[in-house]
Structures are given as C-alpha cells and as structure tokens.
C-alpha cells in the first residue's frame, strides 16, 4: 500500500528507537519522578525555565505572522535579526551576511536532508569522520539515498592536519570503488568529540573545535576535488573553558575564513540551529 521508495526507510533506526523510548517517558521531579533522563540527547535543559519566562513575557502575535510571507521567504525582522547574529564577533564573517544568504527549514535534520538531496544524486558519497553523530546517516540516506563514506580516525588526532589526509585516502578509495563523493561534512564544535576527555587532556589534545589552519586544509581538499564543504556549526555557542581545560581551541566559523585562493565560496555551506528555526548560509 506504500510507494517503493519508502519501503527501504521503514526499518526502525536503533538511534531513533532509543530516543523515542526516552522522550515518551521524560522525567519530571513532580509530574513523573519515575521517568527517564536521557544522556544521549543534546538539549539546553538548564535554560528551559529562563527561555519559557522570556518568551511568555515578550512574544506577541501580530497579523503578519499568520500569512505565507512569514514562512517564505521569512519575516524581514527575523532575517535582519539573524543577520545581526551572524555578523557578530562570534561568527566574525569575512563578508557581511545578508538576508539573501539565509535559507530556513524546520530543523537541522530537515536542513541536512535538503542539502544532501540538493547536492548529491542517489548513490553518491558523503565523507564524515568517525566517530560521528549518528543522525547524519538518516539525514543522508532516507530521501537523498547517499552513501556514507566513513573516515576512521583511530590512532589520529581528529583535529589535526594528519586527519585531513585520512579523508583524502578514503575519498580516493571510494573513487576506485566507483563511488562519486560529493560532500564532506565537518562538525565544529564537534559532536561527539566535543566532550572533555581527561586522557586526551593529559596528552595535550584538548581541542574540541577545529583550528583555523585545519579548517583551511579541509577547504583546500574540497577545492582540489570540487566537493561541497558543509560546516555544521550548531554548537557554536557551547564552547567554554573549565578548570581542567582553561584554554581550549576557540571556535572558528567557516564564515570567518577568507575563501580567496582557498575554495570556491559556492562550495561552502554553514549550518546553524536556534531552537526549531535553522538557517543555512551559502556564502557566495
């Protein structure tokens, strides 16, 4: 009774099955003290009370929010507000981010799905270093039907230039196997390697973000083979120092890196999410 193309997507995903189990029975100290606390989902739960109070006090519904123009192309106030954010010192863009650079979807999963669908044909490859955020697999496979080309970084500093060479090795290997690689995805700050690891810290490898020099190496690699570079920067506001790691590698946005003699700007796409509204910036 269902289409052929959807049949392959019906097998349950272990990742989302676990999420559904936890989310269907969330813990609450009063309403559901026997519920579950998921340690596998990144949520800003410590901010929920403040966010709820702020939105309850400041949100106003006006007629212009009810028409199609509020969604497509989006309210001018929303676009100007986001441009102010992305032109701030955190992202520090080389070129001014303008409203026409923004593209909105209803979440990062939907956004990545559209990017893979737009940039790849069925069966083409996506380079991602391992370990990685498991949701990338569903995002690339369900609709776009892309192939994951995993890059094992076992024995390597995942944030070093040596790791970039591993990407090139896997790219060439995939090419020999008849797989056309179209996209390289970099997650910075990294998920899951953004977590503090005392063993790595003792070895001096405390970087949870990619340095500017390493990001430039990834861009050179993408330019060399003319593949798209997706910088997933959803955790841009989550970097901070601790007593154990007082000077972590600072966050460097792809927007802040000059593209001249490095990569065609049309190959660069930056993903960032705020609540449930997620823009992607194609910085042409």
CA pair distance 91, 85, nearest whole angstrom: 8
* The token pair that represents 239 in the structure block: 């970097």
* pLDDT higher than 90, residue 254: yes
pLDDT value of position 155: 92
Residue-wise pLDDT for 129-160, tens only, equals 999 988 899 899 989 999 999 999 999 999 99
**Confidence band of 73 (pLDDT split at 50, 70, 90):** confident
Residue-wise pLDDT for 193-247, tens only, equals 864 444 444 443 344 799 999 999 999 999 999 999 999 998 888 777 777 777 8
pLDDT value of position 205: 39
Global confidence as pTM: 0.85
Averaged pLDDT for residues 72-98: 89
Degrees to nearest 5, angle at CA 70 with 66 and 72: 130
Q: Is 179 helix (H, G, I), strand (E, B) or coil?
A: coil
* pLDDT higher than 90, residue 126: yes
Q: Which structural domains are found in the chain, ordered by start?
A: 75-282 (3.40.640.10)
Averaged pLDDT for residues 172-196: 89
Q: Is 277 helix (H, G, I), strand (E, B) or coil?
A: strand
207-242: buried (b, 16+ CB within 10 Å) or exposed (e) per residue? bbbbbeebbbbbbebbbeeebbbbbbbbbbeebeee
């Amino acid at each position: 009774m269902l289409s052929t193309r959807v049949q392959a997507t019906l097998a349950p995903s272990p990742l989302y099955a676990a999420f559904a189990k936890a989310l269907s029975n969330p813990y609450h100290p009063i309403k559901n003290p026997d519920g579950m606390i998921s340690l596998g989902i990144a949520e800003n739960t410590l901010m929920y009370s403040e966010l709820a109070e702020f939105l309850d006090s400041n949100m106003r519904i006006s007629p212009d929010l009810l028409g199609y123009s509020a969604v497509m192309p989006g309210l001018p106030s929303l676009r100007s507000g986001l441009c102010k954010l992305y032109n701030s010192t955190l992202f520090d863009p080389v070129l001014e981010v303008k409203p026409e650079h923004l593209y909105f979807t209803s979440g990062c999963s939907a956004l990545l799905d559209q990017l893979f669908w737009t940039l790849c044909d069925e069966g083409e490859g996506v380079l991602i270093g391992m370990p990685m955020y498991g949701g990338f697999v569903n995002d690339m496979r369900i609709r776009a039907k892309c192939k994951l080309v995993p890059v094992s970084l076992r024995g390597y500093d995942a944030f070093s230039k040596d790791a970039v060479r591993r990407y090139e090795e896997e790219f060439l290997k995939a090419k020999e196997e008849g797989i056309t690689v179209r996209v390289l995805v970099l997650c910075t700050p990294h998920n899951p390697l953004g977590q503090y690891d005392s063993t790595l810290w003792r070895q001096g490898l405390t970087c949870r973000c990619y340095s500017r020099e390493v990001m430039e190496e990834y861009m050179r690699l993408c330019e060399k083979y003319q593949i798209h570079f997706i910088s997933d920067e959803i955790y841009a506001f989550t970097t901070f120092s601790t007593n154990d790691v007082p000077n972590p590698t600072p966050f460097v946005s792809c927007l802040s890196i000059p593209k001249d003699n490095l990569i065609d700007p049309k190959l660069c796409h930056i993903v960032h999410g705020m609540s449930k509204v997620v823009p992607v910036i194609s910085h042409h």
